[in-house]
Amino acid sequence: MAQTSPPSPPVADGNDPPALKQVMGPGLLLLFIIGDILGTGIYALTGQVAGEVGGAAWLPFAIAFIVALITACSYLELVTKYPQAAGAALYVHKAFGKHILTFLVCFAVMCSGITSASAASRAFAANLATGFGLDVGNGVILMIALAFMLLVLAVNLRGVGESVKVNVVLTAVELSGLLLVIVISAYFISGGNADFSRVVAFETPSDKSVFLAVSAATSLAFFAMVGFEDSVNMAEETKEPARIFPRMMFTGIGITGLIYVLVSICAVAVVPVGELAASETPLSTVVQTAAPGFPISDLLPFISMFAVANSALINMLMASRLLYGMGKQGVLPPFLAQVHATRRTPQAAILFTTLLAGGLITFVSLDPDSPVVSLLGGTTSLLLLAVFALVNLSVLVLRKDKVAGQHFHAGRVLPVVGTITCLYLVLPWSSGRPVGQYRIAGVLLAIGLVLWAVTWFTHQRQRS
């Protein structure tokens, strides 16, 4: 990893628009990455992954960790080469110069963030009602979810420094929940009560081979690893990004990957796979089995509530910075690049993404049992893996683009491996994904194409 001192920022005159405030140092960036990756995935996915592969549930998480680490190397080369907001959309635009492709990448990443935040807000409301024992209907849950999104809006508008500090608290809470599972399971295991033979046992569905089952489980487990890519959208608000991004990215992915593998091993060693896969709260089942007297059933809704709150906050941070960056680059309407004069936050992008999230929350809450809700995680993973494949290709294309100063270099092999592995987890005949995920992704991309067509037509009329 090459390091260099960042160039001095240009001196602004009175006519320059305000720039984003650089407030994130190594500690805040590391907690941002860890908090974004941990999210809500591991709290719900462990049982589903075990249902695909049996006791070897740790293997898909380990493979997902490796795929994420390879792709992270490509992101690091690009973010240290172009330390600007907008992330994948910016890189694809610089590499290929196709506005339709850039627009679709931007739209896919934005949708993944807003969809995740919207689902997290709905989950926050449900966990709040459960934790306080409120017997309320779907309408009240919807109102709580929308009120929570307004709270996220207020924190986001207040400033990235405040937003990331809230992330520190929420990350500590959700991390403590996972460590609690590991510690209590370790105590149970040390007493000789666990069955470690299950940890290496494959139990796959009858319609899938072991290889396809592992692929399907990895595609699902990868949803728990996404989030590291969000941090590149905070590049303009990070101090010395070329120096601290590589260390913090690798450290964050390594910590979360280790936690996921430990949690999955503990889960299948403590609880039989069938019971684990059938549980809607698998980690609660693990702790109840390992320590029956521990009041986890009362504690877990609140831990989950903080975990999903963190996911919503970070995803809305990412989505707003993405739109801000594309507005600044001229790919999306320039009003999205408006920055608050005093708070120096991208106010127009924040308001726009919150409006979209509110509409999505309302739509999802109309039918809480809709299969769309259960497939959101897989669809998010599908969209992001397709974007990751393009990012890995962009690294290779942009090698010819020389920039001043040194930057992280991902090598020649890793971007190629990253492209192949991401495409493998995207394609239907190799990933083992259900058809519903492709249908949802297809509708989202169709909406993106319509919006691109409208934008292109508007530009053509302006030129005329």
Residue 124: pLDDT over 90: no
- pLDDT over 70, % of the chain: 85
Q: Which residue has the higher pLDDT, 250 or 125?
A: 250
422-431, 432-441, 450-459, range with greatest mean pLDDT = 422-431
pLDDT at residue 217, as a whole number: 86
Mean pLDDT across the chain, nearest whole number? 80
Q: In the prediction, which pLDDT does 330 show?
A: 65
- Token pair for 228: 């590291």
**How much is the pLDDT for 3?**
38
Span 150-175, pLDDT tens digits: 998 988 887 666 656 676 777 788 88
Q: CB neighbours of 463 closer than 8 A, spacing ≥ 6? A: none
**Average pLDDT score over residue span 226-232:** 77
**pLDDT for the residue 450:** 74
* CA-wise closest residue to 319 among 359, 361, 350: 350
pLDDT at 105 > cutoff 80: yes
Per-residue pLDDT, averaged over 379-404, amounts to 89
* Most confident region among 76-85, 155-164, 279-288, 388-397 by mean pLDDT: 388-397
pLDDT score at 390:
95
392-414: average pLDDT: 86
Give the mean pLDDT of 284-295.
81
For residues 163 and 106, the model is more confident at: 106
| Better-scored residue on pLDDT, 103 or 242 | 103
CA atoms within 13 A on the CB side of 47: 17
Q: How many CB atoms lie within 10 A of CB 439?
A: 14
pLDDT score for 394: 94
Alpha-carbon distance values, 208 to 119, 199, 272, 379, 433 (Å): 30, 20, 21, 21, 11
Mean pLDDT over 184-212 rounds to 81
d(CA 398, CA 101): 16
Over 70: is that where the pLDDT of 4 sits?
Answer: no
What average pLDDT does the segment 40-69 reach?
A: 84
Query: Which of the four pLDDT bands, split at 50, 70 and 90, describes residue 420?
Result: very high
